[in-house]
Amino acid sequence: QVQLVESGGGVVQPGRSLRLSCAASGFTFSTYGMHWVRQAPGKGLEWVAVIWYDGAKKYYADSVKGRFTISRDNSKNTLYLQMNSLRAEDTAVYYCARVRFCSSTNCYGYLENWGQGTLVTVSS
């Protein structure tokens, strides 16, 4: 069955960096687009970034553009989120999610599978 397992969260000081990973199994990772979605404590869901199945295209929410980088290694079935210049408002649970359909032109779809999330706390 489809499994997505995030890791890499923790407590980090403002201005520092952190890299999250999402290990995928149970499906052909290289044929699916992937998203990161976050949820601040007690708040709703916020889309963060998307990467096409082949890594050819990447898009970001304005709130993280220029600071976060989404990437993937299809040989390792792993998705990444490199987070630089972290701020207190980046504190959240970060989920990776598999999008149902991803064509060469559109990778925005419904999120069929989610990981359990990893908590990132930005605090001095």
Partner 1 sequence: EIVLTQSPGTLSLSPGERATLSCRASQSVSSNYLAWYQQKPGQAPRLLIYGVSNRATGIPNRFSGSGSGTDFTLTISRLEPEDFAVYYCQQYDGSLTFGGGTKVEIK
> Which residues in this chain contact partner 1 in the complex, by CB under 8 A?
35, 37, 44-47, 50, 95, 100, 106, 108-117
- 82 contact partners, CB below 8 Å, separation of at least 6: 17, 19, 68, 69, 70, 71
Using DSSP, state whether 89 is helix, strand or coil.
helix
Pairing state of beta strands 111-114 and 92-99?
antiparallel
Q: How far is the CB of 24 from partner 1 (least distance, A)?
A: 14
Q: Phi first, then psi: give them for residue 89, nearest 5 degrees.
A: -75, -5
Q: Which is nearer to partner 1, 12 or 97 (CB)?
A: 97
Phi, psi of 50 (to 5 degrees): -135, 150
Q: Which is nearer to partner 1, 80 or 115 (CB)?
A: 115
Task: Give the nearest distance from C-beta 117 to partner 1 in angstroms.
Answer: 6
User: 27 or 114: whose CB is closer to partner 1?
Assistant: 114
Nearest distance from residue 110's CB to partner 1, in Å?
4
Q: Residue 15 CB, nearest distance to partner 1 (Å)?
A: 28
65-80 burial: b if 16+ Cβ within 10 Å, else e = eeebbbebeeeebbbb
Closer by beta carbon to partner 1, 16 or else 65: 65
